[in-house]
Chains A and B, each alone.
Chain A
């Protein structure tokens, strides 16, 4: 996984609440294995019309926002299915941080596995950021995971908290499976205990 430390980049506002993973990446693309082409598929049906032409009214198609690497969204972003493809698409497009008042739980977890940082901030703060981004298209934000602070276009420093465990893995770009495998003795001991306590589970 690619590490995330700090990122200063153009940010794109997405005002709709409840943006579900079907909208981030439609189901008909899910049979593809993870790869760079998911960047093109991000928000596919919002970004392109029936003939595959870009929809000018979609925010990511507007010149000032095309190179955005930070997404500022609304409530319950990434709700819906467990498809990690949603995060793959964001990452492949170049978006490495998403700021929202709340996220779908599974999407939130998936972000950390792919190296995309989800940042939870109060709804009014996030709405304020989106307003600034609309007013100053192409403006940059800084998301600093080390210092746990977002710096707005107006230089306001907005603190956030990330779970220490996830923050650490993301800062280092750690392979979580390798870390867990180091705990094999504890897992094996747990299993022996559980087999004794719940013999009915044996198959």
Chain B
């Protein structure tokens, strides 16, 4: 083993390589696996192949994609969809896998539940059949999303064949200006490096801005790594990480905690470690940011205008912009703050944690939503904590619906969708065509910005809300 300076990524990757295969493929050991209701068919496929789950003790599961956010699991009308949730219950019970299903306070979006339970730990490899598994990298673990066949492979072998990704470091330094949230930081990063900028890389987010972030904020940043094309994001574990994890159900305790923490302190990238790519952003230059198009890279400061296809550098880009404007129902050069919205969604694994709800509540407190607006907490525990602070009252008094935890309108698999042509101010992570329902137009933004849109009915610079007399 060479003693040269190593990156955080390298320090996690190397000790997990079980064997090297032909070419550049490694057999990577997977410490922990998270499962959600959408992955339930994989259990059946494994069973049909006559294979066993190799290490049920490495798994935790919940139901999030298909659960209704009002009325409980019993309210699912379609038996095929209800089966996704009830089958998860059955399989996990048979295998002895901890399962946080509907009715359990710990139930929630898989990427909220995992960290909340201390299932997510620094230095480990963690996978889930969901691309936003990158969220967990906020704890300094190598966490990435996998497809159904890869999931089957992990269940059967505790390993995955992987090509070693390259390491990219994105440094964000300086104090964030008022009104600039973690969501604005990551949207700005994606706009800068593009939706494919991180392809083939693991991104380590570093710099003083990231170091000053809370765990909720770091999770927001890492969550959208996949929207920059990267399968995983990482933040070096530090005292903020340890303080978050201490005492959580699945986290080590007693002497094991001390051992773990001593090891975790060795994980941050060494000074002089070399990255395959480096990007730097100055936090002082950032502003509240919204997307106008159908790729998360189409993000602009709220003070900007909808782009003009005529300004596109080449015909392919012009065609892409024209297509996006047509889908989004927008005219070139429209000021972003002139875009009216039909509804507002605060939720998803990007922005449904307690701090997100606080940020949105702070904006709507004493104001009134003028369009239908939902607040959907990320888990039962988030919901309970928010209610203990009275946030549910704040939302309700402002005319928001305060709903049960789940993925909800982020993807609409449970039926929580908008209507064709509706324009949604959303704190989720994808603005793809049809993502929130057929023909629905999604603008991504922070919880505070979504709250501001709710009380004005249009995209609004949250920093100017008071000045505008709203």
Contact = CB atoms under 8 A, between A and B. Distances in A.
A163 B31 contact: no
A200 B156 contact: no
Nearest to B98: A203
Contacts of A102: 196, 199
A82 B130 contact: yes
Nearest to B18: A190
A26 B434 contact: yes
Contacts of A176: 149, 153, 161
B146 interface: yes
Contacts of A110: 147-150
B435 A165 contact: no
Contact of B38 (A18, A30, A34, A104): A30
Contacts of A190: 18, 29
B145 interface: yes
B131 A187 contact: no
A166 B25 contact: yes
Nearest to A101: B196
Interface string A165-203: 111100000001100110110110011001001111111
Nearest to A18: B295
Contacts of B157: 177, 180-181, 183-184, 187
B51 A177 contact: yes
Interface in A20-49: 20, 22-23, 26-28, 30-34, 45
Nearest to A32: B80
A132 interface: no
B146 A109 contact: yes
Interface stretch (B255-263, B276-284, B382-390): B255-263
Interface stretch (A3-11, A61-69, A73-81, A141-149): A73-81
Interface size class of A (residues with CB under 8 A): 35 or more
Contacts of B307: none
B152 interface: yes
A143 B352 CA distance: 45
Contacts of B158: 187, 191
B153 A200 contact: no
A16 interface: yes
B199 A76 contact: yes
Contacts of B129: 82
Contacts of A181: 156-157
Nearest to B26: A165
A166 B149 CA distance: 14
A54 interface: no
Interface string A43-61: 0010000100000000000
A198 B263 contact: yes
B435 A22 contact: yes
B434 A23 contact: yes
B23 interface: yes
Given A163-B25, A180-B159, A186-B19, A31 B147 contact: no
Contacts of B411: 27
Contacts of A20: 295, 430, 432-433
Contacts of B38: 30-31
Interface string B223-264: 000100111000000000000000000101000110110010
A76 B51 CA distance: 35
A83 interface: yes
Contacts of A137: none
Contact of B21 (A31, A165, A198): A165
Interface string B133-153: 000000000000111111011
A114 B413 CA distance: 24
Contact of A28 (B84, B130, B195, B413): B413
Contacts of B31: 201
A83 B39 CA distance: 10
B199 A201 contact: no
B273 to A, nearest CB: 22
Nearest to A22: B432
B57 interface: yes
A177 B156 contact: yes
B438 interface: yes
A33 to B, nearest CB: 5
Given A22-B430, A80-B430, A163 B163 contact: yes
Contact of B146 (A15, A18, A82, A200): A82
A118 to B, nearest CB: 13
Contact of B257 (A104, A105, A109, A200): A200
Contact of A84 (B149, B252, B257): B149
Contacts of B161: 165, 176, 180
12 contacts: A17-B320, A28-B417, A31-B84, A76-B195, A84-B147, A167-B23, A180-B156, A180-B159, A187-B158, A200-B252, A200-B256, A200-B257
Interface of B: 15, 18-19, 21-25, 27, 29, 31, 38, 41, 44-45, 49, 51, 57-58, 66, 80-81, 84, 121, 123-124, 129-131, 145-150, 152-153, 156-159, 161, 163, 165, 195-196, 199-200, 226, 229-231, 250, 252, 256-257, 259-260, 263, 295, 297, 316, 319-320, 323, 411-413, 417, 420, 430, 432-435, 438
Interface of A: 15-18, 20, 22-23, 26-28, 30-34, 45, 50, 74-76, 79-85, 87, 102-106, 109-110, 113-114, 127, 163-168, 176-177, 180-181, 183-184, 186-187, 190-191, 194, 197-203
